Structure 1
Amino acid sequence: MSKPKVLIVQELWWPKGGGGIFATHLITKVLVRHGFEVRVVTGVKDHEDVDNVVFIHEPRLKASNKLELWFNAYIVSREGWFRKLVKWADVVYIPRYAYSMIPRVKELGRRVIVHLHDYQPISYTSVIFHGDNFKSDFTRTFYYELHQHGLVRALVASPLTPINRLAREWVSWADAVVCVSNRQCEIMRERMPEVSDRSTVIHNPLPDAFPVRKELGDDKVLLYLGGSSFVKGFHLVLRVANELLRKHRDLRILMTRVEGYRSLPSNCAALGELPYRDVVKLHSRVYALLFPSMWEEPLPYVVLESMLMGTIPIAARTGGVPEVVVGSPAEDYLFTPGDVYEFMDKIGAVLTQSKDYLLDVGVKLKEHVLKLFSTEYVENRIVGLFESVLN
């Protein structure tokens, strides 16, 4: 019996990109372990290989923006070499934004699985804010771009929002649409009902656990991994840092992917972009992770990894976060998104705990997330989806 064949098309590949890219890397490993034959078309030449997977470099997929990507992906989908790849495959898996290929794949009689790690089909920016009550995608985009990139970008990007209707149309052709949390699926089904009968929830696989030995020092260290992004709550971190500086002189906040800021509070250390393994090592000495996200993040890996490393996540109650922490000690450290005073109270609650308490809670968090995201269960769900689509 021949192996089922999967063609994955994704612009970026690990270690380039964020949590969604990492999830695809892990899912590819799952498919290979379960006997699938996998080929990957990606725009990234320097990437982490996966054993027994053939990678095909297509530089046009590494576009500077989504509009360029959609145009390039459409052109690529019409070329002979790509047609042969599609005909080779039993199913084409699109875990990011190369949606403009879907009509051609369907014309060639192949099944398509779209994996959503955000809200691109219903939002030009791919973001849905917590408590999102914008009357149009135009106003949502203007608000996002104004706070994230400035007025000029807001004025340029907002008129382009109608183009995103194409993304919605393309995704509606898919045979299956995967969401990564119940909350994300709820939002998608409400705002894009045409895919309700083909949408399903499958949690992302847990990353391989690197051994991290907690060694909490007398200096209290917090970790923030969201960069200088408005939607990640960077402005909230700066506000609480200034307030905490008055109360906790021994406090330091380590920040990754934050560059170019000359006026950071004195208790903040900007570490820039770090390799994944170095980020993991930081967990050995931090008291808590700060996760003040402003949007409905479907299933943030930084929260999962924090718990896996035995670090309490002080997280906004938004997106898939409550699903991850429910029933664990981390549930006590959730706060209302955007509420800087509640955020500060939760940080203060952690800082007043003993090191023994934090270490004990860390063990419980790791046990909780390993049970909730059982490797066997998640892998069976992934494989079951591909097999059901094939059949």
Structure 2
Amino acid sequence: MRILLAHNNYTVQGGAEVFYHEVARVLRAQGHVVAMFSAAEPGLDVPGVEHFPEAVDYRAGGLLTRVRHLPGLVYNRKAKAAMARLIAEFRPDVIHAFAIYVRLTPAILEAAKEAGVPVVLSCNDYKHLCPNYKLFHNGRNCEECKGGRFHRALVNRCCHGSTAFSAASMIEAYAHDRRDIWCKNVSCFLFASKFMARKTEEFWGKDRVQIDFLRNPFDAKKYHVAPNVGRYMLYFGRLIDEKGVQVLLKAAAMTPEVPVVIVGDGPDMDQTIARAATLDNVRVVGPAWGDDLADWLRGARAVVVPSLWHENFPYVILQAFAAATPVVGARRGGIPELVDAGPHGWTYEASDASALAALLRDVAAAPDDQIAAMGAAAQAYVAAEFTDDAIYTRLMAIYERVTQ
């Protein structure tokens, strides 16, 4: 089978790009011919780069420049033409798209439709429903744009807190909705969490589009840490309001006997450091990756995922499990689907600092052998569920269904 994968960025910048490249790796390992399609990047030298189209940078320049660039981030005609040329040359059996808004834009979906090539679209955030892609702004979850009321994005200034960005995202959402560009041109929408699939049906109507499930590839061996029951509760990830770190700090203030370590960086770094400085049981250590992060995981008793927004499929949970560490997770989005999949951890009502504090006390007081058993179960779970064979089997079932 010949498969064309499309995603905004070729260079890895986060989990979305890891997903893109991991799918390519799994398919190639099984003998499939794979082509990649991304927006052009300065200095990029990879196979097929001659097909990569230019994408506008809406963040660059002043107001007039941004207004001039707006049509290109809503509907990139150069990307559509480049996709059409690549389809004609490569002749794919199926196109698997990932995050394509703003840079490639859904214009490339129309090129696929016109060429008669089925498209499956992996949705890792809520951009197909929400102008700011999070269903969250200013410290709260939000569904005000449901029913095509995208002007609420501008009213709330929910895109980067900027009137200009919010206006552009509002126009983008109205334009795509007017063309029905997602539903008309995608054969099957793929989700990692049942929560996001349900939310899509709530916004668009049940059975309007075909839905299936594909978990993100995850190399458990890469993050494997020898089982060890530690003493502190660990948060690692981005320090930003939707991640709920301030809730964790409130809970830590209620449990001075429970040590907490916070690993990460982000726009709330200074605020987090200032608050932690008033708490004797909290330590903020900044960002850590690779072996440094493994060391922090090795010393953790549990990993806390206190998100306030509807997380889709947080990799931090899988990393914790691979390190034989159970998880204390907020009941938001896809978090319970992972934590409640076995004896892997505990969940609590998101934003309830008192409930989180009670769990922190319980976990700190639990017998070491109980924590060790939960960690071992978590590690076995990711090792069994997130294999290349499992991902490949799901991919083939999906591709074969849309190509029949």
The AA in structure 2 aligned to 1:60 is E
Aligned to 2:29: 33
Q: Which segment is superposed worse, 295-304 or 363-372?
A: 363-372
1:291 aligns with 2:285: no
C-alpha RMSD over aligned residues: 3.4
Aligned to 1:60: 54
1:274-353 alignment runs, 5 A limit: 274-276=288-290, 278-331=292-345, 333-353=346-366
Q: Which segment is superposed worse, 155-164 or 185-194?
A: 155-164
The AA in structure 1 aligned to 2:87 is V
CA distance in 2, matches of 1:278, 1:44: 33
CA distance in 2, matches of 1:10, 1:55: 14
Question: Which whole-Å deviations, capped at 9, do the CAs of 1:155-191 have from their partners, x for residues lacking one?
Answer: 8626842421344522211122111122211111221
Aligned to 1:92: 95
Change in Cα spacing, 1:82 to 1:372, as seen in structure 2 (3 Å) is: closer
Q: Which runs of 5+ in 2 are unaligned?
A: 60-65
CA distance in 2, matches of 1:224, 1:280: 13
Change in Cα spacing, 1:283 to 1:64, as seen in structure 2 (3 Å) is: farther
Question: Which whole-Å deviations, capped at 9, do the CAs of 1:31-87 have from their partners, x for residues lacking one?
Answer: 1122221121234759999xxx9352747348466x9698267133244x5433122
- How far is the alpha carbon of 1:122 from its aligned partner? 0.9
- How far is the alpha carbon of 1:325 from its aligned partner? 2.5
The AA in structure 1 aligned to 2:97 is I
CA distance in 2, matches of 1:69, 1:204: 32
CA distance in 1, matches of 2:289, 2:44: 13
- How far is the alpha carbon of 1:132 from its aligned partner? 4.8
1:116-265 alignment runs, 5 A limit: 116-128=123-135, 132=142, 134=144, 136-139=149-152, 145=158, 150=161, 153=162, 157=166, 160-168=169-177, 169-172=180-183, 173-193=185-205, 196-210=208-222, 211-217=224-230, 220-244=231-255, 246-248=256-258, 251-258=259-266, 259-261=269-271, 262-265=273-276
- Residues 31 and 383 in structure 1, CA contact (< 8 A), matched pair in contact too: no
CA distance in 2, matches of 1:171, 1:350: 44
Change in Cα spacing, 1:13 to 1:160, as seen in structure 2 (3 Å) is: closer
Change in Cα spacing, 1:264 to 1:134, as seen in structure 2 (3 Å) is: same
**Structure 1 residue matching 2:327: 3-state secondary structure:** strand
CA distance in 2, matches of 1:237, 1:221: 13
- Residues 80 and 111 in structure 2, CA contact (< 8 A), matched pair in contact too: yes
- How far is the alpha carbon of 1:120 from its aligned partner? 0.8
**Structure 2 residue matching 1:7: 3-state secondary structure:** strand
The AA in structure 1 aligned to 2:76 is Y
Aligned to 2:284: 269
Q: Which runs of 5+ in 1 are unaligned?
A: none
- How far is the alpha carbon of 1:142 from its aligned partner? 5.8
CA distance in 1, matches of 2:328, 2:154: 28
The AA in structure 1 aligned to 2:49 is I
CA distance in 1, matches of 2:122, 2:304: 27
Question: Which whole-Å deviations, capped at 9, do the CAs of 1:184-203 have from their partners, x for residues lacking one?
Answer: 11111221238644221222
Aligned length: 372
